[in-house]
Structure 1
């Protein structure tokens, strides 16, 4: 029973609609009605500005981190904490508070990894920042990082065990599922990337190129 309650708690944590609630409460705007219409960090930056975007990014990461730490906080043994992180990801992508229409799960997934293995989190974050610098596109950087992360869950235990000591099949399975979902949710972005019309951030080598 305790496990079920904590899993539901993890889902509810993931369901916290950070971008939508901050937009409505502080800016009197529903970010779903502006920009890309997405509820996540990138659209928050675009619609509400840098400060709101940073807050939403940190909150979305924290959701995944706190959810993954629930079994540790409540002394629940013999349960893989990644199941709780997975529930937070489900909550973020299918939030009960927004009629199951949520975000793309990137930041919340990162929060899960931060709780599970901080070094692996920073390793992946560095790759994301490098990709962002090279492409100036959050969408493309997110998709490339998702692929890189999934492959790393398999390869790192053999080539860099200091970062990821052992292979965890559940981590790989979640990473693969999240990668597929991220690509699916970025289908419009992929079309714009092909057309050369994708939104770019004011950062990196590619942000001034048309």
Structure 2
């Protein structure tokens, strides 16, 4: 293994994950720092809540791309001979986790970011595309039915390890299943306040009305 090259790619994955999409979109186009409104998080969920459908969608897509791009950097390590192909999945997971941490603790804006769900989704798309697409479908359906981004995120995350238990999706590397369980736990734990608001019926709904812009 080439430790120097691996270290450089890990740093790059963090910097990619740290791109504060919600903050930059809010400040550049709306003159608003989303961290000072709504839940105070710099992520897609709060952007939907504070700025509306269009900016929320843009932030969500860019944050998903961040996770996908960071995880996909593992392919470069294989191509450059820094790691063996047998370690591809492990490094996709490592780089994706680093990107998620970058999103949660972004160096560009004082280490105050979002919860990392969209970036996590991008990472999963790079690691296991079929299962990730099903989880994304679950997210979209629940969001359209309930307009709760938090609930959609949690159900999509919980679905990931459950789908991996099915014979048709069971991974060759058991590490992926372990990771799936950890994903679900992490997403649920980071949404404790949302769960409380959902149970009390006071959770904010996203502005996803296709006939209404904001």
- Normalising to structure 2: TM-score of the pair? 0.83
Moved more, 135-144 or 194-203: 194-203
Specify which of 166, 175, 198 is matched with residue 171 of structure 2.
Answer: 166
Deviation at 1:129, TM superposition (A): 2.4
Aligned to 1:18: 21
Q: Does the Cα contact within 8 Å between 1:86 and 1:174 map onto a contact in 2? A: no
- Partner Cα separation in structure 1 for residue 21 and residue 206 of structure 2: 21
Do structure 1's residue 197 and structure 2's residue 202 form an aligned pair?
yes
Q: Does the Cα contact within 8 Å between 2:105 and 2:112 map onto a contact in 1? A: yes
Q: How many residues align?
A: 198
- Partner Cα separation in structure 1 for residue 189 and residue 59 of structure 2: 22
Do structure 1's residue 34 and structure 2's residue 45 form an aligned pair?
no
Gaps of 5+ in 1: 205-210
Specify which of 71, 76, 93 is matched with residue 74 of structure 2.
Answer: 71
Aligned to 1:141: 152
CA RMSD of aligned residues (A): 2.1
Q: Does the Cα contact within 8 Å between 1:40 and 1:104 map onto a contact in 2? A: yes
Q: Does the Cα contact within 8 Å between 1:105 and 1:178 map onto a contact in 2? A: no
What does the per-residue CA deviation read over 1:99-133, in whole Å, with 9 as the maximum and x for residues that have no partner?
A: 33221111111101112222222111122223334
Gaps of 5+ in 2: 210-214
- Partner Cα separation in structure 2 for residue 138 and residue 199 of structure 1: 9
Deviation at 1:203, TM superposition (A): 6.4
Moved more, 47-56 or 188-197: 47-56
* Residues 202 and 9 (structure 1), Cα distance of their counterparts in 2 relative to 1, 3 Å cut: closer
Q: Does the Cα contact within 8 Å between 1:82 and 1:170 map onto a contact in 2? A: no
- Partner Cα separation in structure 1 for residue 199 and residue 100 of structure 2: 28
Aligned to 2:130: 119
Aligned to 1:207: none
- Normalising to structure 1: TM-score of the pair? 0.85
Flag as ranges the 4+ runs of structure 1 deviating above 4 A: none
Do structure 1's residue 186 and structure 2's residue 194 form an aligned pair?
no
Structure with more contact order per residue of length (Cα contacts < 8 Å, sep ≥ 6) = 2
Deviation at 1:50, TM superposition (A): 2.1
- Partner Cα separation in structure 2 for residue 193 and residue 181 of structure 1: 18
* Residues 99 and 169 (structure 1), Cα distance of their counterparts in 2 relative to 1, 3 Å cut: farther
Q: Aligned with 1:39: secondary structure?
A: coil
